[in-house]
Structure 1
Amino acid sequence: MSTPTARPPASVVLAGGGTTGHVAPLLATAEALRTRHPGTRVTVLGTREGLESRLVPAAGLDLRHVPRVPLPRRPSGDLVRLPVRLTRAVRGVRRVLDEVDAHVVVGFGGYVATPAYLAARRAHVPVVVHEQNALPGVANKLGARLTRHVAVTFPGTPLPHAVVLGMPLRRAITELDRPALRAEGRAAFGLHPDLPTLLVTGGSLGAQRLNEAVPRAASALAAAGLQVLHVSGRGKHVPLPPGTTADPSSPPDGPRYVVVDYVERMDLAYAAADAVVCRAGAGTVCELAALGLPAAYVPLPVGNGEQRLNAQPLVAAGGGLLVDDEEFTPEWVTTTLLPVLRDPAQLLDMAAAARSFGTLDAAGRLADLVLDAAREAP
């Protein structure tokens, strides 16, 4: 009787890119796969133009480029060109799947997910879908029709076979000890070491509404003994009132309003903060929940309304505030947000509520789901 041959380590292909919302959970899942299942081969499908072109190689992962395939929502020239573009991209993905002997394809949405799902289907490779937002995108709606392995971040996401796993997060977030890192974080940004700190961030691209409204409330915030770390976004301007202290190189002796255009170490920014003002992208909502950071969420007013839906369950649980973009004004900051920031007991209650909503092990759980699906490969 012959001895069964041991199955080689799984070859996993991760497809996603274009924005941080797709790239961040992809990288967290890759990290979990390599940590929990050593020997797993991980290949990433992405574009030349997106953030993945820089972040994936920096993480030591094999990146294979796939042409961008936008899925137009209305008649346009892109819609006419879609069949040719999609066919070319599917063929390119199929070559990668054959080359790496893929056992499973994991899609996170975005421009490369659609050709990845179709190529996997044609190659009889199992598919896993992870949807980050409360409302799924077009690519993941398609992917979910091709598999029963569907993971979502938020309850109620309308996809078939959906299992709620949460958002895969990097260990830099899930293992962050904010109190232990607080002094280092505040020193890194030239903040006063002992004053309550509000972090304002619109992500790497910034948010014009946040950049305009919060600085105009700077005097009231300073008068209340609060300092601000404002991440403006690359190339974005923050109109600070005259006399506001914003030079991070001078020693802090009171409330500061520090403006930086980009933060490489968001863990330090989170450690420095007591509360946050931000958009409501799925990644941001889930990171702040995992860290127990209370926040005022200002959903992006475009798209299909998914940002509001991302934040609503957390806010309903008491972990934050929710305000429409048009209502986020200097007056709202002064009359609604400031009283909350000045109430330590309320901030503690909000932090506990946010933390109870957060999920720390989603990356590992998704990695296990991926390996389970890989075992179905022929």
Structure 2
Amino acid sequence: MSNHSDAPARQGPCVVVAGGGTAGHIEPALALADAVRRQRPDARVIALGTERGLESQLVPTRGYPLELIPPVPMPRKPTPELLRLPLRVRDSVRRTREVLDRVGADVVVGFGGYVSLPAYLAARGRTPIVVHEANAKAGLANKIGARFASKVAAATPDSGLPGAQVIGIPLRESITTLDRAALRAEAREHFGLDPQAPTLLVFGGSQGARSLNTAVSGAAKELAAAGIGVLHAHGPKNTLAVQEFAGPAYVPVPYLERMDLAYAAADAVVCRSGAMTVAEIAAVGLPAVFVPLPHGNGEQELNARPVVDAGGALLVADAQLSTDYVADRVVRLLTDEAARLAMSEAAQGIGHREADSVLAEMVLDVAGK
């Protein structure tokens, strides 16, 4: 898009999104960016990020300009770092303010994490702010940002942000418009899976998850004997040696580039329960066995809880996920089509497929004022 500095009037609004660090912050920001562009093709969307975050790879490949600012890591306990924090915050806020002025920001949309805090502080009192909280419990940056935001949106009802409108998590259009049945044959061919067998998808986030890898690969014999195919993303840093047994293919891959095809190929999934993962799986109506990360503040269990309570997923503690559990409970799920159908409907009842459009409307409304 050319930027005519000599043009007297700017066309559409300029939306700055701040959601760096992890995919859980960046993906919703990019889904919003796409939705803003669909509603206002003349809008400019610019992402804020840091050099070390995942955004330096994800944002440019999705076709959005990335403006780099100094990161402000959030120390969890008092350390010498904490004493240096005010200076680093001030520097980051100043640099962020320069970016907002230079691009002519009409609204700043923050998704939490260490890129959002300087964005909120830089925009405060100058540029309207919209906050989106994806997790079941709001983090520090969003708690601060929500205090002076024009609008606050959240994925779940009890995020801890007062006055938040519950809209779900903005998801990519390739996920929200996914027709799993229509894509199944192509998806299975793509991964080299059995075209007919009930198929289990396993993944543990971009890094993979050792306990998931061990439990599921250890049950390869029982899965094959039950006629179940497996697509298992073990994480680029891990290796997975799976013994071959007579039966449908067990396909290990380091990483899933095409999540849409992975979801379409599967009849059920075993995975972690990050907010983004839970939202995607509910939206596509995939029966799930959620295995929350055992560390942290129990947030992943909270993320999974609404879908589990609705009957759309099972929940198993990391310590309880064993080869025996997979050979028994997971095999039973994959060989019971009626149970999977009921879970699929329950999950879709919880999913928010339209969160991206709803948030885009909110953001453009605030920018227009």
Is TM (by shorter chain) over 0.5? Answer: yes
Q: Deviations over 1:197-240 (max 9, x none)?
A: 00000121111110111111111111110011000111212242
Aligned partner of 1:182 in structure 2 is 184
| Distance in 1 of aligned mates of 2:325 and 2:350 | 26
Match of 2:118 among 101, 115, 119: 115
How many Å separate the matches in 1 of 2:343 and 2:238? 30
Contact 1:148–1:160 at 8 Å: present in 2 too?
Answer: no
1:108-140, Cα deviation, whole Å (9 max, x unpaired): 111110000000005x11110000110111111
Give the corresponding residue for 1:322: 315
- Equivalent position of 2:212 in the other structure: 210
Separation in 1 of the partners of 2:77 and 2:61?
36
The aligned residue for residue 24 of structure 2 is 21
* Residue 152 of structure 2 is aligned to residue 156 of structure 1: no
* 2:124 partner SS: helix
Q: Deviations over 1:153-203 (max 9, x none)?
A: 112211012100111011110111111111111111111111110000012
For the residue of structure 2 that corresponds to 1:214, the secondary structure is helix
* Alignment partner, residue 167 of structure 2: 165
Alignment partner of 1:227 out of 211, 226, 229: 229
**What SS does the corresponding residue of 2:12 show, helix, strand or coil?**
coil
Q: Which residue of 2 aligns with 1:251?
A: none
Distance of 1:138 and 1:9 partners within structure 2: 32
Equivalent position to 1:132, from 134, 137, 145: 134
Per the TM alignment, residue 300 of structure 1 is displaced from its structure 2 partner at its CA by 0.7
Aligned-partner Cα distance in 2 for 1:51–1:73: 21
The reply to whether residue 295 of structure 1 matches residue 293 of structure 2 is no
Q: What does the per-residue CA deviation read over 1:343-363, in whole Å, with 9 as the maximum and x for residues that have no partner?
A: 100000000101111111100
Match of 1:238 among 234, 237, 240: 240
Q: Does 1:81 align with 2:81?
A: no
Question: 1:350 — aligned with what?
Answer: 343
Cα deviation code 1:280-305 (max 9, x no counterpart): 01111011111010000000111111
Match of 2:270 in 1: 277
**How many angstroms apart in 1 are the aligned matches of 2:224 and 2:85?**
53
1:359 aligns with 2:352: yes
Shift of 1:148: 4.2
TM-score after normalising by structure 1: 0.93
Q: Is the contact between residue 232 and residue 252 of structure 2 (CA under 8 Å) also seen in structure 1?
A: yes
Tell me whether 1:141 sits opposite 2:134 in the alignment: no
Q: After superposition, where does 1:299-318 map in structure 2 within 5 Å?
A: 299-318=292-311
Is the contact between residue 298 and residue 325 of structure 1 (CA under 8 Å) also seen in structure 2? yes
Counterpart CA distance in 2 for 1:290 and 1:188 is 22
Runs of 4+ in 1 over 6 A off after TM superposition: none
CA root-mean-square deviation = 1.5
CA distance in 2, matches of 1:6, 1:100: 14
1:70–1:78 Cα contact (<8 Å) kept = no
Q: Supply the AA of the counterpart residue of 1:322.
A: L
Q: Give the equivalent residue in structure 2 for 1:96.
A: 99
Letter in 1 for 2:335: R
Residue 316 of structure 1: how far off its partner (Å): 0.4
Task: Give identity over the alignment, percent.
Answer: 56
Give the superposition deviation at 1:7: 8.2
Counterpart Cα distance in 1 of 2:83 and 2:181 = 54
**In 2, Cα distance between equivalents of 1:54 and 1:71:** 22
Unaligned runs of 5+ in 2: 1-7
* Aligned pair partner of 2:12 in 9, 14, 21: 9
1:148 and 1:161 in contact (8 A); partners too? no
**TM superposition shift of 1:6:** 8.9
Unaligned runs of 5+ in 1: 246-253
What does residue 370 of structure 1 align with?
363
Deviation at residue 337 of structure 1 after TM alignment:
2.1
Give yes or no for contact 2:154–2:164 (8 Å, CA) kept in 1.
yes
Residue aligning to 1:35: 38
Instruction: Name the SS of the counterpart of 2:157 in structure 1.
Output: coil
**1:60-75 alignment to 2 at 5 Å?**
60-75=63-78
